Each structure stands twice: as structure tokens, then as C-alpha cells.
Amino acid sequence: MTIDALFRMRFVVPQLWIGLDAIGANFAFEWDGTKVRIALPTDVATFSELPDGSQQAFLPSMAGSGPVFAEPDRDARTAAMILFEITVDTVTEVPHPKPTELTDELRRIVDAEIETARPVAEAAASLFVRHMRAAAPRQSWLGLSTHAPAQYGIAQLEYRATGERIFGYGPEQSTTMRSSRLRLDLSDVEKIVEDVAAQREPSISESLLADAWHLSDAEAANDQDRAILAAATACEVKVKQFIQDRVNPGGIAMARMILSRRSNLPELLDEVLLATLGVSLKNENRALYTKIASLTIQRNAIIHGGRRKTGTEQPRMPAEVATGLFEWLEQLPPVEHSCGTSRFHPEQHP
């Protein structure tokens, strides 16, 4: 027998400024046939309670917005929302009254029920925050638009009629292991200082690649759309500069003309690279070329359609794909140039 239940989850948003008329607002709607509610705090303590022994830092549900200047046609009273709550109507097979012992079988039931409701709560919270950030773009402290809100406190499954908790859990804990190869050794720092002393800026492609890694990082930004854009742009800038640096000096003018007309990354890495430097990523490393092509498809879909293209391969870790290309280019041996100019004829490829 199933019993009406409720899944409750609270989330953190970095001080979203709201009007006083929005304090305590509560909204209910259908999400794929499931009833979902979004609740804003009514005061500083609405959603702030933490269980005894919690390792999570205590947060108020809301705060004052800080100083704002007075405007003749504007009510300046503003609150900063820090916590909000999502609830999802569901059902449970855990009998009522609640058993005194949570057996392995009951734990399996509860876990399955939570894993049905939890993705709905997280998806609704994430979409809510993305819309709030888009609607208030000048609240620049809110972070990147697709950075999912973090869980706060205990998420729980409860009986809908009584509010009694059936089972709850805190935020997921994880540890990220990284390679020591990421570090900068003394020789690296010495090269950096040489550039600083010469007042040289980092290359655009390397800076874009660093941005792509940051945007890909789930602990930092976790914005895969922008990671794709940054990684694809880094690749295009890198390969174009690489061709100009490596091409026969007598063919630089022709190469620049070609590159001014071409920006399709797979094409640059195949026929343009082959014509100018005699090597093709498609021929030499088909697996990497395929990843670059996938990255380009999604980059174009975001730019021209506003979102990634579904139903096609999604590039995993776009910054890693770009890094693979950078490393492949840098390991290419210097080209033995012969007299003459590029064999590539741009008029054949309008």
C-alpha cells in the first residue's frame, strides 16, 4: 500500500535581491505530472535549521541587501534571499506509523523513492535559479547562469499528512583526486617571470583554454555550455596561430588570406593544415579529430540555436579535448620548407 509523501530539499543562492513583497511567496505547479512547490523564506530562520553535529556552516534564510541609494520613484527596501525550498509530492511504501527500525528492505524502498523525487527537486531548483540570474543580470555576484544551487541542510522524505520524517540525508560529500602533474615547478615559474619581466601577456589561446578548464570544473563553475564555447575558440585561435608560426615565410601572406576566410575547426585541422604544413589531424589522429568535430557541432549549436544539439554525441570535458589538440600540435616536428607558396587555393572553396 502506498501513502502520500513529500520530498523536501533546501538550496543556497548567493544573496538574490528581492522586493519585500516577494518575502514568503509560495508557488505550486506541475512538473511532468508531479506537483512541485517553490517556497521563499518568510524570515531569517525559515529554512536555516541544521541537525545537531552538522558539519555544514549555518546560513540565515535571508538578510538585508546592504546599502542602496534612494531614488524618487523607487521603494529602496530590499532583502537578500539566501535559502529557498523545493518540495515534490510523491508516495511511499513505508508504512505508517513509521517502523522503529529501518531494515535493509525498507532502506532499499526509501532510497528508490528518494531517487525518484530528488532529480525533480534539483532540476526545478536549478531552472529557477537560472531564470532568476537571467532576469537580474546586473546582480553580478550571483555567479554563472548555469551553476547549479547547492543543497543546504537535510533533504528528507516525509509523510505528507503529518510532516514526520521518514528518512533524510545531508549534502553529498566528495573528494577530488588530481595529478601532481598540474603543478608548476621552478623551471615553469622562471619562464613565467621572464614573460612578466618582458611585459608579455599570456597567449590568447592558452588563456581561453584555462577559462575552459575553469568553466568545466564542477567545483568552480560547472558551466558546460560556456566551456564548449571557450574550448572551441581556444582551438581555433591556437591552430590559426600555429599555422602562421610554422608556415614557410614565403607563404605567410597566402596563409593569412586563407585563415581570414576559414573558421571551421575540422576543416582547419584537415585540408588547411595539410595544405600549409603538410599534416592533417584527421589522417594522423582520427579519434581526436572526431572529438574536435563533436565539439564544433555543439559550439555552432549554442551560438546559432542557443543550446546544445541533442541526439548527437556530447563532448565530454571540452577542455580536455582542447588540451589534447594543443599537445598534438606542439609535438609536431618543424616543417622542412621547400621553395614556393601554399598549395591551397582558396578560390576553390568559397
- Which pLDDT score is estimated for 61? 96
- Which pLDDT score is estimated for 247? 86
- Which pLDDT score is estimated for 343? 43
- Which pLDDT score is estimated for 342? 42
324 Cβ neighbours under 8 A, 6+ residues apart = 288, 291
| Cis peptide, bond prior to residue 249, ω within 30 of zero | no
DSSP structural state of residue 270? I
pLDDT band at 155 (very low <50, low <70, confident <90, very high): very high
∠ CA 152-158-162, rounded to 5°: 125
d(CA 160, CA 166): 10
- Which pLDDT score is estimated for 59? 94
Q: What is the DSSP string of 25-91?
A: -EEEEEETTEEEEEE--SSTTTT----TT--SPP--SEEE------BTTB---EEEEEEEEEEEEEE
Category of 34 on φ-ψ map: left (φ > 0), alpha (ψ -120 to 50) or beta: beta
- Which pLDDT score is estimated for 348? 38
Model confidence over 262-283: pLDDT tens digits?
A: 778 999 999 889 888 889 999 9
Is pLDDT of 161 > 80? yes
Identify whether the C-beta of residue 22 lies closer than 8 Å to the C-beta of residue 65: no
Model confidence over 208-265: pLDDT tens digits?
A: 999 888 888 755 556 788 889 999 999 999 999 998 888 888 788 888 888 877 778 9
* Percentage of residues of the chain with pLDDT beyond 70: 90
What is the residue-averaged pLDDT of the chain? 86
Pairing of strands 165-169, 150-159: antiparallel
| 174 CB neighbour count, 10 Å cutoff | 7
Lowest mean pLDDT among 138-142, 149-153, 307-311: 307-311
Name the one residue in this structure whose C-alpha cell is 595544405. 275
Is pLDDT of 122 > 80? yes
- Which pLDDT score is estimated for 17? 92
- Which pLDDT score is estimated for 335? 66
Identify whether the C-beta of residue 292 lies closer than 8 Å to the C-beta of residue 233: no
Is pLDDT of 175 > 70? no
Q: Give the residue, 292 or 55, on which the prediction is more confident.
A: 292
- Which pLDDT score is estimated for 336? 65
β partners of residue 92:
3
Grid cell digits, residue 80: 537578500
Mean pLDDT of 188-197: 89
- Which pLDDT score is estimated for 287? 93
Mean pLDDT of 82-93: 95
